Amino acid sequence: METTAEQRVTMDEITALAKRRGFIFQSSEIYGGIGGFYDYGPLGSILKRNVKNAWWRDTVELRDDVVGFDSSIIMHPLTWRASGHEAQFHDRMVDCKICKHRFRVDHLKNTEQCPDCGSKDSLTEPRNFNLMMSTHLGPMEDSASAAYLRPETAQGIFVNFKNVFQTARKKPPFGIAQIGKSFRNEITPGNFTFRVREFEQAELEYFVPDDGNDMTCFNDWVERRKAWYASYGVKRDRLRFYELTPQERPHYAKAGIDVEYLFPWGWGELESIAHRGTYDLDAHMKLSGKDLRFFDEASKAHYTPILIESSAGMDRTTLTMLIDAYEKETVTDAGGKQSERTVLHFHPYIAPVQVGVFALARNKPELVERARAIEAALRPTFRTQYDEGNIGQLYRRQDEIGTPFCVVFDYDSLEDAKVTVRNRDTMIQERVAVDALASYLRERIA
Ligand code: ATP
């Protein structure tokens, strides 16, 4: 039977933990916040960076056929005409005439009744609402100066396709990847950082020749992304790869998969993987009048490569890592006393802190000095944090921020040059020689 995330953890628990431990804060909180925007705190910023690095490592660094890219957020407005965003990037919206709240039609269970105030037949006729955020460039606020904040990073790659393949000396099959901010004026932001108005996307545009291998390539990327989520520990039964029906995909797309996670409120999309044919490059060639085709030396012919796209939300993936790692456990100590602990079982690669190093007592300079020296020695290799005081409380705190290993320098350490290393998940403690500590940790964290 499917377990809902709700049985394990609620969004209230996640948002409370995120705030308490410095992962995620509401943006501009001192002014009452602003809908659809969040800030990443000291731990959250590292967690998100680690998630992005994990994606980048697998998608770019470990491949010889994908190059990196970083395009501007504001692009020539014609970009969005060619891409179809100007005419079609909208959601259908209705307003409640009584409470004045606004809803996305496709999110309503019942279009006859307002979900907020319960009024019957109070919803307006649906109308289109373009999700692109606009701004003005330069001192004049007229139509000539109007520009958009990009609603996706992909278009920066398409308009630069020729620049990239020429300078990187690549030929299809090859990919271009980028991670960057995108903006959408969502009608109803919500579910914490799941649906926000400013977010980061990690997008891979993989261009393949039209040689009959395009679907194999699409399936290979799906498998690669499956393996990626699995390698960072996302539970298999909370992740699904939903195959879009022809009615659900755009008319030009030959295949599409939505990667979905089982959030406390139900399934939600993390990523979409799509076979987009030649639609995007064709559209830019048509409007710009520039030839973006690839010239194949072997056949001496120009052709437009087929595009396989993987587009993942980094904020949604970071939220997934937090929710998926979360566990509340009842633990029994040596004396039989039971207590509850909250633990984040982060994969060591993405854990914001990998090793906590503590002195058993803060008022004993000989312990503090040695513990600090150990932390400083480990710092170039691991993400470390030094602390001192009540060890039980320090363990609980590190469990709650997902630190895989804690090291304690105690009175015995002064005698035997060994420290206690405590494993977050098993809570097993081992004595390890200070000399061997770095290699002990490297073996378990690498
Ligand atoms: P949804 O149906 O949830 O609005 P979408 O199908 O419009 O999403 P895509 O255009 O396919 O999303 O964007 C690719 C990815 O970007 C999504 O899978 C998601 O992870 C992320 N993303 C899109 N919109 C948002 C948002 N408002 N907040 C956070 N992440 C987003």
As a whole number of angstroms, the distance between CA 361 and CA 2 comes to 47
The tokens describing 324, both together, are 């998926």
pLDDT tens digits along 85-136 = 999 999 999 999 999 999 999 989 898 999 999 999 999 999 998 999 999 9
85 lines ligand 1 (CB under 6 A): no
Cβ neighbours of residue 365 closer than 8 Å, sequence gap 6 or more: none
- 378 close to ligand 1 (CB < 6 Angstrom): no
Q: Which amino acid is at 350?
A: I
Assign domain 353-445 one CATH number from 3.40.50.970, 3.40.50.800, 3.30.365.10, 2.102.10.10.
3.40.50.800
Q: Is 196 in the pocket of ligand 1 (CB under 6 A)?
A: yes
DSSP 114: -
Tens digits of pLDDT across the chain (446 residues): 344 444 789 999 999 999 999 999 999 999 999 999 999 999 999 999 999 999 999 999 999 999 999 999 999 999 999 999 999 999 999 999 999 999 999 989 898 999 999 999 999 999 998 999 999 999 888 888 889 999 999 999 999 999 999 999 999 999 999 999 999 999 999 999 999 999 999 999 999 999 999 999 999 999 999 999 999 999 999 999 999 999 999 999 999 999 999 999 999 999 999 999 999 999 999 999 999 999 998 899 999 999 999 999 999 999 999 999 999 999 888 889 999 999 999 999 999 999 999 999 999 999 999 999 999 999 999 999 999 989 999 999 999 999 999 999 999 999 999 999 999 999 999 999 999 999 999 999 97
Q: Is residue 389 classed as helix, strand or coil in its secondary structure?
A: coil
Atom from ligand 1 closest to the CA of residue 201: 16
The span from the CA of 354 to the CA of 46, in Å, is 11
Neighbours of 118 (CB within 10 A): 11
- Give me the residues paired with residue 339 across strands: 331
Residue 399 half-sphere exposure, CB side, CA atoms within 13 Å?
A: 20
Burial string for 309-327 (b: 16+ CB within 10 Å, else e) reads bbbbbbbbbbbbbbbbbbe
- Contact between 74 and 135 under an 8 Å Cβ cutoff? The reply is yes
Query: Distance (Å, rounded) from C-alpha 233 to C-alpha 223?
Result: 16
323, two tokens? 């929710």
Cα-based distances in Å from 279 to 212, 249, 320? 17, 13, 31
| Closest by Cα among 343, 348, 356, 341 to 425 | 343
Name the phi and psi angles at 266, rounded to 5: 130, -170
Nearest Cα residue to atom 13 of ligand 1:
311
Q: Is the CB of 187 under 6 A from ligand 1?
A: no
One-letter amino acid at 271 equals E
Residues in the chain: 446
Q: How far is CA 384 from CA 48, 100, 267, 406, 407, in A?
A: 17, 50, 35, 10, 10
Q: Which residue CA neighbors atom 14 of ligand 1 most closely?
A: 311
Phi/psi of residue 37, nearest 5 degrees = -135, 140
CA–CA dist 314, 200 (Å, integer): 5
Instruction: Quote the CA–CA distance of 203 and 218 in Å, as a whole number.
Output: 15
Q: Whose CA is nearest to atom 3 of ligand 1?
A: 269
- Residue 207's CB is within 10 A of a number of other CB atoms, namely 25
Angle formed by the axes of helices 314-325 and 11-20, to 10°?
Answer: 100
- CATH number of 5-79+131-322, picked from 3.90.1150.10, 3.40.50.970, 3.30.930.10, 1.10.3720.10: 3.30.930.10
Contact present, 260 and 236 (Cβ < 8 Å): no
Whether 94 is in the pocket of ligand 1, judged by its Cβ within 6 Å, is no
Please work out whether the CB of residue 186 comes within 6 Å of at least one atom of ligand 1.
yes
Report whether 294 contacts 165 (CB < 8 A).
yes
- Provide the β-strand partners of residue 357: 386, 407
Contact 359, 242 (CB under 8 A): no
Determine the Cα angle at 262 with ends 258 and 267, to 5°: 55
State the Cα–Cα distance between residues 264 and 247, nearest whole angstrom. Answer: 28
What one-letter code names the amino acid at 397? Answer: R
What distance in Å separates the CA atoms of residue 378 and residue 393, rounded to the nearest whole number? 22
Helix, strand, coil share (%) of the chain residues, nearest 5: 35, 30, 35
pTM above 0.85, yes or no: yes
Is 91 near ligand 1, meaning CB less than 6 Å away? no
The answer to whether 93 touches 105, Cβ cutoff 8 Å, is yes
Give the long-range contacts of residues 220-225, CB within 8 A, separation 24 or more.
221/273, 221/308, 221/310, 222/257, 222/273, 224/58, 225/259, 225/271, 225/273, 225/310, 225/312
Equal fold, 5-79+131-322 vs 353-445: no
Alpha-carbon distance of 225 to 117, in angstroms, equals 42
Q: Which residue's alpha carbon is nearest to atom 11 within ligand 1? A: 272
Q: Could you state, in order of their start, the residue ranges of all structural domains in the chain? A: 5-79+131-322, 353-445
Ligand 1 centre from 204 Cα, in Å? 15
